[in-house]
């Protein structure tokens, strides 16, 4: 039993497609078997809503009179890039405010824009013959901008580390505060609902894949930064540690603050929760088998963040079902767990994508180009060396 993309899209277009979320599909497969579920269901939807630091927006402000070539740019005192054309910029979510530090950053500016709030734009320029203005201080809203779109270089990490701390001090990390002597462990994945865990070898997710980005319909633009297809994999071919990633694009004007939220991690920095959802076509029983995997089948690696080095020691492996139970065993000790990625919102994302496909006839696009596959491309470190040594 195999279905083609065209057959599935035809069923979506006619409103006849059977669409389930990954959680619902796993339930059906447990009852009727993977074979029957694969036959019955056309599309399975996924979703995740966690902090994703490599996110940001391209903005075009339009030209003032007289015009300015913007070289230094701040939005609500958060610096944005002056390294593009005169009134283009890129604002990254992790950029801290010059005034409020990490309590307000690029992510908060984007959330304010999404909520319809006016944002103060200040800029200076060199003053040129064609751009004579040297300063500007004005207010802009999302609706005033010509273009405003997400380009998130790394979202939807395929699996992530579980963070714990064997040290004697409380430490603050991008995975939250980690209590000393294995006082807690935090994790950050939607598990069985996570987009890339449902397509472990990137068969259906690639460049050009239509997806949900912060409430807007967008695209997978490229492999994400640090995409590493060569991570350890389990018997189902699913990575057991952080591996694949995607870069995504979508119109900020069509996004929703329900699915994009600014975040501050104390003593670490600014980030943003981003909702990402991807519909996956049930092409055959192979893909159905991975779509049917549950949190009990998916494994993550516990990493000791108490060791502040690039290679931190692994403390063991646990399943997402164990993580979600509220405690795990590490080195014989019962350690309480807490998530950083919202499962209730991930479920909302998957349900919304299901509604798009089933009711709004959101058709699927086969990859224009595949993401780098397992066995290709190494994940390289940064070496510290002199010009002479290279």
Partner 1 sequence: MARRRLDLTFPPRQATKPITYHLVKDFDLTPNILRAQIQPGQEGRMLVEVVGPREAIDAGVAFLEKEGVDVHPAASDICLDEDECVTCGLCTAVCKPGALTLDSESKALVFDKDKCVYCEACVVACPRRAITLTF
Q: Which residues are catalytic?
A: 130
Does the protein bind partner 1 through residue 194 (CB under 8 A)?
no
Residues 44-83 that bind partner 1 (CB under 8 A): 49-51
**Smallest distance, Å, CB 219 to partner 1?**
25
DSSP letters, 362-383, are ------SEEPPPTTS---PPPP
How far is C-alpha 84 from the chain's CA centre? 25
Does the protein bind partner 1 through residue 344 (CB under 8 A)?
yes
Considering only 58, 265, 320, 362, the residue that binds partner 1 (CB under 8 A) is: 265
Which is closer to partner 1, CB of 244 or CB of 269?
269
Considering only 184, 231, 232, 317, the residue that binds partner 1 (CB under 8 A) is: 184
Whose CA is closest to 133, among 71, 72, 70, 67? 67
> How many amino acids of this chain bind partner 1 (CB under 8 A)?
30
Which is closer to partner 1, CB of 79 or CB of 275?
275
Q: Give the count of beta carbons closer than 10 Å to the beta carbon of residue 125.
A: 21
Which is closer to partner 1, CB of 97 or CB of 363?
97
Contact 333, 164 (CB under 8 A): no
**End-to-end CA gap in the chain:** 54
Residue 239 is given by DSSP the state B
- Find the part of the chain contacting partner 1 (CB under 8 A) among 10-18, 55-63, 172-180, 199-207: 172-180
Contact 148, 240 (CB under 8 A): no
CA-CA distance, 113 to 119, in Å (whole number)? 7
Considering only 123, 228, 264, 301, the residue that binds partner 1 (CB under 8 A) is: 264
CA-CA distance, 327 to 320, in Å (whole number)? 11
Considering only 261, 290, 299, 322, the residue that binds partner 1 (CB under 8 A) is: 261
**Smallest distance, Å, CB 111 to partner 1?**
10
Beta bridge pairs of residue 59: 89, 148
Kindly list the distances between the CA atom of residue 281 and the CA atoms of 33, 198, 248, 250, 288, in Å, as whole numbers in the listed order. 18, 11, 19, 21, 9
Which is closer to partner 1, CB of 115 or CB of 141?
115
Residue 386 is given by DSSP the state -
Does the protein bind partner 1 through residue 116 (CB under 8 A)?
no
Q: Mapping DSSP to helix (H, G, I), strand (E, B) and coil, where does residue 287 land?
A: helix
| DSSP element (H, E) containing 337 | strand 333-339
Does the protein bind partner 1 through residue 263 (CB under 8 A)?
yes
Does the protein bind partner 1 through residue 213 (CB under 8 A)?
no
Does the protein bind partner 1 through residue 236 (CB under 8 A)?
no
**Smallest distance, Å, CB 165 to partner 1?**
11
Residues 318-337 that bind partner 1 (CB under 8 A): 324, 326, 336-337
Does the protein bind partner 1 through residue 202 (CB under 8 A)?
no
Does the protein bind partner 1 through residue 177 (CB under 8 A)?
yes
Kindly list the distances between the CA atom of residue 104 and the CA atoms of 173, 177, 269, 342, in Å, as whole numbers in the listed order. 18, 19, 9, 21
For partner 1, the binding residues (CB under 8 A) are 49-51, 103, 176-177, 179, 184-186, 261-266, 271, 273, 324, 326, 336-345
């Amino acid at each position: 039993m195999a279905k083609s993309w065209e057959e599935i899209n035809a069923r979506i277009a006619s409103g006849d497609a059977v669409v389930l979320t990954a959680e619902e599909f796993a339930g059906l497969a447990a009852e009727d078997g993977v074979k029957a579920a694969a036959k019955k269901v056309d599309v399975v939807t996924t979703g995740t809503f966690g902090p994703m630091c490599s996110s940001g927006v391209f903005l075009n402000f339009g030209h003032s009179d007289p015009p300015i070539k913007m070289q230094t740019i701040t939005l609500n005192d958060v610096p944005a890039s002056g390294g593009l054309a005169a009134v283009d910029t890129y604002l990254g979510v992790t950029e801290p405010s010059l005034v409020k530090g990490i309590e307000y950053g690029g992510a908060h500016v984007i959330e304010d824009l999404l909520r319809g709030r006016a944002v103060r734009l200040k800029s200076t320029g060199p003053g040129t013959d064609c751009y004579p203005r040297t300063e500007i201080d004005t207010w802009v809203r999302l609706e005033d901008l010509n273009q405003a779109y997400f380009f998130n270089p790394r979202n939807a990490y395929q699996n992530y580390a579980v963070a714990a701390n064997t040290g004697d001090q409380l430490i603050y990390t991008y995975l939250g505060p980690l209590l000393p002597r294995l006082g807690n462990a935090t994790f950050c994945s939607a598990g069985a609902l996570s987009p890339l865990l449902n397509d472990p070898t990137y068969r259906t997710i690639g460049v050009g894949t239509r997806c949900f980005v912060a409430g807007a319909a967008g695209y997978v633009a490229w492999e994400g930064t640090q995409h590493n297809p060569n991570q350890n994999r389990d018997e189902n071919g699913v990575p057991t540690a952080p591996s694949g990633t995607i870069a995504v694009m979508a119109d900020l004007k069509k996004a929703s603050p329900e699915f994009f939220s600014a975040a501050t991690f104390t003593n670490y920095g600014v980030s943003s929760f981003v909702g990402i959802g991807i519909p996956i076509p049930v092409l055959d029983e192979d893909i159905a088998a991975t779509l049917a995997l549950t949190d009990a089948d998916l494994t993550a690696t516990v990493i000791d963040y108490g060791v502040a080095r690039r290679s931190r020691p692994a403390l063991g492996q646990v399943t997402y079902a164990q993580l979600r139970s509220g405690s795990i065993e590490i080195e014989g000790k019962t350690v309480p767990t807490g998530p950083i990625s919202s499962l209730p919102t991930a479920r909302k994302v998957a349900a919304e994508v299901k509604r798009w496909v089933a009711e709004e006839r959101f058709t699927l696009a086969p990859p224009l180009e595949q993401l780098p596959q397992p066995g290709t491309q190494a994940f390289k470190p940064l070496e510290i060396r002199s010009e002479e040594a290279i």
